[in-house]
Amino acid sequence: MKKFGFLLFLFVIMAALPNGADASSYSAKIYLDGNPLKISSDVKVENISGTVMVPIRVVSENLGYSVKWTKATQKVTVLKDGTTIEMVIGNKTAKINGKSATMTMAPILRGGTTIVPIRFLSENMGHDVKWDNRLKIVHLITRTTGNDGLAAINGISFSDNRLMVAVSGYVNPKVTKLTNPDRIVIDVANAKFSDKFSSSNNLGTGMNGTLTVTGNPDVKQIRYSLFSNSPSTVRIVMDLNRAKNYTLSGTQNGSSVFIVDLNATSTSPAPPPGAGSKKLVVIDAGHGAHDPGAVSSSNRREKDFALALALKVGKLLERENNIDVVLTRSNDTFLELRDRAKIANNLKADAFVSIHANSGPSAASGTETYYERVSSVALANTIHKHMIKATGLKDRGVKYGNFHVIRETTMPAVLLEVGFISNKNDEAKLFNSTFQNRVAESIVVGLKEYLKL
């Protein structure tokens, strides 16, 4: 696991109500969508007065939850996909997105580990729960996104020869390599496009669209469509310039992002980003597609600046032998904020940087950097000091900001407001290639210093 500052606990959830009120414990056996989770043999599931309790540290990496522990108030905060659950040790009243709810059993702090009622937690985070009392197994079943029982495709992005697909619900993609012409076909059965994806990507009545790819020697374009209605199947096709091997990852344990990686060779699969001793950095270009972000008086768009700078940062990081880089988008596409965070969380990145341009009164000018968690302050300070030298703009400082992508990510994460697109002087610099190169270099220097490389 990557270290994330003072976040003391990793996470898990499961639940059940086996019969009987006797307090007892057993070795943990937990299944997610039919697959056993890898849990150490010393982890115990406790049955306290008929409520199954599980250490909250057990499976956060398996389920993609983020957990925060506030020692002063003994509060556990669990976050996933826009849902926030707050629980306090010894208190049966929890809060779900600010609204009070009652648990059958209050969380307990036992030997430095918090144990929680897993039915309450998991059912409010999108999992159904079944308890096998005979075998003492907790079964977690990922709920699909709607009454139709279908998983949903929320976003598609392509960068660094990796196709990343954000989903809600359980999926099992089938990937096929075809020739004449060369292409890779990904079929996602029992799935549909989410309403947000459909509206954001201009899907027509034929429910199909194209993701433009430029300057890639391997991939011409990426097409996607609702290929079949029986069963409902989303098909994604990567049209290739030449035959390529691939590896598929992120489909186990209910992951919310799966990746088709074209960086494999003919003799070995592609190592996952950040494998070995390499550090992994995720660079996020803000906005995209139908979401232009802020727009200047001369109709220049924040999304274009963010992408241009992100691509430059990505290219520089690709030259670093000790760093792997993943871009949440490398073209004019759109991903939900939650899916940007999911990509970084699922990859277990070491650092996350979201790139933006600011907007305000025409006189407002300068560069500022935002963090949301204490564990992100060092990253924010380090990048900011280098970026200020590169921009030459007013130093507006390092600040706390409650922005989704730096709040929901589980690694040190910052949001950069490089300059004000609403200020004519700042705008001219933001869209100057030399300026962008200088800022990109400063971000990379800051990352390398922070990562001690």
Instruction: Give the torsion through C-alpha atoms of 240, 245, 251, 255, to 10 deg.
Output: -70
In-domain check, residue 167 = yes
Domain boundary among 104, 126, 142: 142
> How do strand 30-32 and strand 137-142 relate by DSSP bridges?
parallel
Is 9 a residue whose pLDDT tops 50? Answer: no
Establish if 378 belongs to a structural domain: yes
Domain annotation covers residue 1 = no
- Strands 279-285, 351-358: pairing is parallel
In the numeric block, the tokens 């020739």 are attached to 179
User: Rounded to 10 degrees, what is the CA torsion of 18, 21, 24, 30?
Assistant: 20
What DSSP designation does 310 have? H
- The C-alpha atoms of residue 165 and residue 154 are separated, in whole angstroms, by 8
**Whole domain around residue 229: which residue ranges?**
145-270
Whichever domain contains 385, its CATH number is 3.40.630.40
Task: Please report which confidence band the pLDDT of residue 15 belongs to, taking 50, 70 and 90 as the band edges.
Answer: very low
Residues 295 and 161 in one domain: no
pLDDT (tens digit per residue) in 351-409: 999 999 999 999 999 999 999 999 999 999 999 999 999 999 999 999 999 888 998 89
**C-alpha–C-alpha distance, residues 359 and 377, integer Å:** 23
* 33 in any annotated domain: yes
> How many domains does the structure of the chain reveal?
3
> pLDDT tens across 254-272, in order?
457 888 999 877 666 666 6
Q: Is residue 8 part of a domain?
A: no
Gap between the Cα atoms of 122 and 142, Å rounded:
10
| Domain assignment present for 11 | no
Instruction: Give the pLDDT confidence of 303-354 residue by residue, as tens digits.
Output: 999 999 999 999 999 899 899 898 998 888 888 888 888 888 888 899 999 9
Reduce the DSSP state of residue 146 to 3 states and report it.
coil
Residue 369 backbone dihedrals phi, psi, to 5 degrees = -130, 135
- Are 341 and 442 found together in one domain? yes
Query: Helices marked H in 251-401 — which ranges?
Result: 302-318, 337-347, 377-391
Q: Is 417 among the residues known to form the active site?
A: yes
Q: pTM to 2 decimals?
A: 0.62
Residue 15 lies inside a defined structural domain of this protein: no
Q: Please check whether residue 9 lies inside any domain of the structure.
A: no
Which of 61, 86, 368, 417 is the catalytic position?
A: 417
Which among 222, 241, 270 is the end of a domain? 270
Among 248, 270, 292, which residue terminates a domain? 270
Instruction: Output the domain CATH number for residue 188.
Output: 2.60.40.3500
Give the CATH number for residue 41. Answer: 3.30.457.10
